Amino acid sequence: MMNSWMLRWVGLGLCLALGACSQPPTASNSPANPASVTPTPQPNVARVIALTSLTADLVQRLDGKKLVGIPGSSLLRQDQRFKALPTVSEGRTSPNLEAIVALQPDLVIGASSFHADVAKRLNESGIRTLLTEVNSWENLETLTTTLAATLSADPEPLLQEYRAFLADAPKMAPSTLVLANPKPLLSPNKASWAGDTLARFGAKNVAADLQGGAEFSGYALLSPEKVLEVNPEVIILVSTGEGVVEQFKSNPIWNQLKAVSNNRVYVLDYYGLVNPGSIDAIKQACTTLKQQVFANQPGIR
């Protein structure tokens, strides 16, 4: 039987696969479409199913009348805008193909790292799919523009929101380490959403160029000795569940770290920092970075 940290590791891996990878959006009517193809806008799209919380949020904001199905996500369950919409997936299970087909979508949007098999089967049934990945702000802007063109909507209000989130970000910020998992220690490098966000805030991500060990692109496994070696001025812990912060603090090296001594350890939610999740989650992460983390406000002991 898996112990608790291993279960969290598996769950985090699935979440990373769903929300924080590297490719721009790609469309397909056949599984053979190359990943580099940018989809041709098709304004006749009237019924859309989104298989990730971020794409559901984007479609709802661009043209909510066209969204007819969503994933089972804690972010969406908490949002009144999605209360009346049927879910076509739940938790870690693969989307329900029968439920998707029954909703008669013109387009199904998923994550290329997790929904490729589903997309292939939908394509074979004559349902068009759009596979996306978002691990940078540039990816987010490209995805927004692509969806707006597909839905015959205006992307500019959302693009302006993104710029506002990053407005007044510091030009220079202290050396920073994001720890996304306590056992084993997992940190995002520069090829991840979190890594790109740190760069936008002028932070020196001490894991930016680290590679190896992690199953997921954009992340590196760290030994306690490596964390002591880089010894950042700021540490950001990612909250992925109850008791996670205590697990970080139970590491024998904890009290030897500069960030701990200077009370510069902060806790941010998984959504917004590691997995973009939704526009509101991104906004909250940026606000916390600006007003607390990089404003030199006290953190946790």
Q: Does residue 208 share a domain with residue 141?
A: no
Sign of CA dihedral 248, 226, 196, 64: negative
Q: Does residue 291 share a domain with residue 256?
A: yes
**Mean pLDDT, to the nearest integer, of 20-48?**
49
Residue 70 domain flag: yes
Q: How far apart are CA 234 and CA 204, in angstroms?
A: 10
Residue 15: partners with Cβ closer than 8 Å, 6 or more residues away: 240, 270, 274, 275
Residue 225 domain flag: yes
Phi, then psi, of 67 in degrees rounded to 5: -85, 120
Residues 91-111: tens digit of each pLDDT: 778 899 999 999 999 999 999
Residue 116 has pLDDT above 80, yes or no: yes
The number of domains in the chain is 2
Q: Does residue 159 share a domain with residue 28?
A: yes
The predicted model scores a pTM of 0.86
Residue 107: partners with Cβ closer than 8 Å, 6 or more residues away: 42, 45, 47, 48, 49, 127, 128, 129, 130, 150
- Measured from the Cβ of residue 229, the count of other Cβ atoms closer than 10 Å reads 10
Q: Does residue 233 share a domain with residue 154?
A: no
Q: Does residue 180 share a domain with residue 104?
A: no
Residues 50-92: tens digit of each pLDDT: 999 999 999 999 999 999 999 999 999 989 999 999 999 987 7
Instruction: Judge whether 285 and 197 are in contact, CB under 8 Å.
Output: yes
- CATH classification at residue 28: 3.40.50.1980
Q: Does residue 224 share a domain with residue 122?
A: no
Residues 144-162: tens digit of each pLDDT: 999 999 999 999 999 999 9
Q: Does residue 180 share a domain with residue 115?
A: no
Residue 291 domain flag: yes
Q: Does residue 107 share a domain with residue 174?
A: no
The closest alpha carbon to 26, from 34, 16, 17, 18, belongs to: 34
The closest alpha carbon to 273, from 261, 288, 262, 260, belongs to: 288
Query: By residue range, what is the domain housing residue 144?
Result: 24-32+39-165
Q: Does residue 107 share a domain with residue 45?
A: yes
Tell me the Cα Rg of the chain.
Answer: 20
Instruction: Judge whether 71 and 88 are in contact, CB under 8 Å.
Output: yes
Q: Which residue has the tokens 């589903």?
A: 118
Q: How far is CA 160 from CA 58, 155, 164, in A?
A: 14, 9, 6
Assign 213 a pLDDT band (cuts: 50, 70, 90). low
**At which of 122, 148, 165 does a domain end?**
165
Sign of CA dihedral 270, 23, 159, 296: positive
Residues 230-249: tens digit of each pLDDT: 999 999 999 987 788 899 99
The residue type found at 147 is L
Residue 279 has pLDDT above 90, yes or no: yes
Q: How far apart are CA 44 and CA 150, in angstroms?
A: 8
